[in-house]
């Protein structure tokens, strides 16, 4: 068995690329979870499977302390087609590791294998491999399945690769670091009819156009200018012929925010605006509003501890502002104090952003991510 992190790297790069070539969508990560579980067991780590669906937890104990921390990585891929041309590109049509979860799982696995050999800590480390981060709430499923009851932690941490930061740099901040994610759908219904006779039927297309304009004034005119939020209309569907006014038009989009009060205000305004447009155009508005991920809120002390520990390994900085992307690690932070960290992976050769069809995880940061996980375990559970 290799004696150092460097000796583990070739096998881990191969492991990461194998996961990349065989991506699995949320709650379907059977092969991925199985490969991780087998590798953990081979390394001497206790494994518990089937948590929150396809999630698993590796447990490693050393010393006599009752202290424990959790380290989390996500496993799922995105429902999109890869366009990298890499030799290890996805072999599954419509599934692609376009967010680097293959790298996250590999870094946490490597840290578990290294800690199982060295055991330079006093307490318990829970290695949490989570399914279904991409919009399906795998973290919530694991928490509801008793994650922190069965595997109690004083702190929980997660890393996410960040192409906007230089490779090997670590950044985080106290308080909000990722936004709450809401999605909405509004259907405006009239009667439909001949396009040459718009005076005899409410025009759902015209109403939808008016609604898009008014929705885009909510942030600038309905919430305080000191608050941070985004509302974007991302799709409009309706109609099938040039000479027919459709009976209904549906539009949808997303809202991102950090403060529950602001979130409440935006939803209320959206409902008021939709009702007003419907009234003024003679249509009816049906609204679905789903707050599917809360804001990711770091514990201040945990974020400071993580930055202090990371600074012993690599360049660090305090993130000046949160991101408007979302992350279901928020559910774990609601149940346990902890912090979410960004690990820079930016390089000139890998300029594609997250969720881009040409994205690929930067294997050069596997060692840094492993060492950071190890340092968090050893630093929080010092002997």
Per-residue pLDDT tens for 315-371? 999 999 999 999 999 999 999 999 999 999 987 555 789 999 999 999 999 999 999
Q: Residue 350 has what pLDDT?
A: 56
What is the model's pTM? 0.93
Q: Residue 35 has what pLDDT?
A: 98
The least confident of 3-12, 251-260, 355-364, 368-377 is 3-12
Nearest residue to 381 (alpha-carbon basis) of 330, 299, 309: 309
How much of the chain exceeds pLDDT 70, in percent?
98
Pair 306, 342: CB distance under 8 Å: no
Nearest residue to 205 (alpha-carbon basis) of 221, 193, 216, 217: 193
Q: Residue 349 has what pLDDT?
A: 54
What is the band of 383 on the pLDDT scale with cuts at 50, 70, 90? confident
Q: Which two tokens stand for residue 63?
A: 């010393």
Query: With 90 as the cut, is the pLDDT of residue 96 above it?
Result: yes
**Integer CA distances (angstroms), 321 to 176, 228, 318, in order:** 8, 10, 9
Nearest residue to 229 (alpha-carbon basis) of 252, 267, 255, 254: 255
Query: With 50 as the cut, is the pLDDT of residue 19 above it?
Result: yes
Mean pLDDT of 139-162: 98
**How many CB atoms sit inside 10 A of residue 290's CB?**
10
Domains defined along the chain, listed by start: 5-177+295-380 (3.40.630.10), 180-293 (3.30.70.360)
**177-229 residue pLDDT tens:** 999 999 999 999 999 988 999 998 999 999 999 999 999 999 999 999 999 99
Query: With 80 as the cut, is the pLDDT of residue 3 above it?
Result: no
How much of the chain exceeds pLDDT 90, in percent?
94
Q: Residue 1 has what pLDDT?
A: 35
**Integer CA distances (angstroms), 130 to 90, 136, 168, 208, 376, in order:** 20, 11, 23, 39, 19
Mean of pLDDT over the chain: 95
Q: Which two tokens stand for residue 174?
A: 């106290």
> To the nearest 5 percent, what fractions of the chain are helix, strand and coil?
35, 30, 35
What would the DSSP string read from start to end of 31-48? HHHHHHHHHHHHTT-EEE
At what angle are helices 260-281 and 204-215 packed, to 10 degrees? Answer: 150
Give me the residues paired with residue 290 across strands: 183
Tell how strand 155-166 and strand 338-346 pair up.
parallel
Rounded to whole angstroms, how far apart are CA atoms 299 and 360? 30
Residue 352 DSSP symbol: P
Nearest residue to 361 (alpha-carbon basis) of 6, 21, 8, 25: 21
In 82-216, the DSSP E strands lie at: 123-130, 155-166, 170-172, 175-178, 180-189, 193-194
Q: Residue 348 has what pLDDT?
A: 56
Query: With 50 as the cut, is the pLDDT of residue 142 above it?
Result: yes
Long-range contacts of 10-13 (CB under 8 A, 24+ apart): 12/106, 12/107, 12/109, 12/110, 12/366, 12/370, 13/363, 13/366
What is the band of 53 on the pLDDT scale with cuts at 50, 70, 90? very high
Q: Residue 351 has what pLDDT?
A: 74
Query: With 50 as the cut, is the pLDDT of residue 2 above it?
Result: no
Mean pLDDT of 162-174: 95
Burial of 180 (C-beta count, 10 Å sphere; 0-12/13-18/19+): buried
Up-side HSE of residue 113: CA atoms within 13 Å toward CB? Answer: 27
């Amino acid at each position: 068995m290799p004696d150092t992190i460097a000796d583990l790297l070739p096998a881990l790069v191969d492991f990461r690329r194998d996961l990349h070539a065989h991506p699995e969508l949320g709650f379907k990560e059977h092969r991925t979870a199985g490969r991780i579980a087998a590798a953990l067991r081979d390394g001497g780590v206790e494994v518990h499977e089937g948590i929150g669906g396809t999630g698993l937890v590796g447990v490693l104990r050393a010393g006599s302390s009752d202290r424990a921390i959790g380290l989390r990585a996500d496993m799922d891929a995105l429902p999109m087609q890869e366009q990298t041309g890499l030799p290890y590109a996805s072999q599954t049509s419509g599934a692609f590791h376009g967010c680097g979860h293959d790298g996250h799982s590999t870094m946490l696995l490597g840290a578990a294998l290294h800690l199982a050999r060295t055991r330079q800590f006093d307490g318990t480390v829970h290695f949490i491999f989570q399914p279904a981060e991409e919009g399906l709430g795998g973290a919530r499923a694991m928490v509801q399945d008793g994650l922190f009851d069965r595997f109690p932690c004083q702190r929980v941490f997660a890393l996410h690769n960040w192409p906007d930061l230089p490779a090997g740099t670590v950044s985080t901040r106290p308080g909000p670091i990722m936004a709450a994610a809401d999605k909405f759908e509004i259907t405006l219904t009239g009667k439909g009819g001949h396009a040459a006779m718009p005076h005899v039927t409410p025009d759902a297309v015209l109403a939808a156009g008016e609604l898009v304009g008014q929705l885009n004034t909510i942030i600038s005119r309905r919430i305080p200018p000191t608050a941070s939020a985004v509302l974007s209309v991302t799709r409009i569907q309706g109609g099938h012929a040039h000479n027919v006014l459709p009976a209904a038009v549906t539009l949808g989009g997303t809202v991102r925010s950090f403060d529950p009060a602001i979130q409440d205000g935006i939803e209320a305004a959206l409902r008021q605006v939709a009702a007003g447009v419907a009234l003024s155009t003679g249509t009816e508005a049906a609204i679905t509003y789903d707050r599917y991920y809360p804001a990711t809120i770091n514990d201040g002390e945990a974020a400071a501890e993580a930055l202090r520990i990371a600074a012993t390994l690599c360049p660090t900085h305090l993130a000046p502002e949160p991101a408007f992307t979302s992350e279901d690690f928020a559910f774990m932070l609601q149940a346990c104090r902890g912090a979410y960290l960004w690990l820079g992976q930016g390089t000139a050769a890998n300029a594609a952003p997250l969720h881009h069809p040409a994205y690929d995880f930067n294997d050069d940061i596997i060692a840094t991510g492993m060492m950071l996980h190890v340092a968090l375990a050893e630093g929080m559970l010092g002997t």
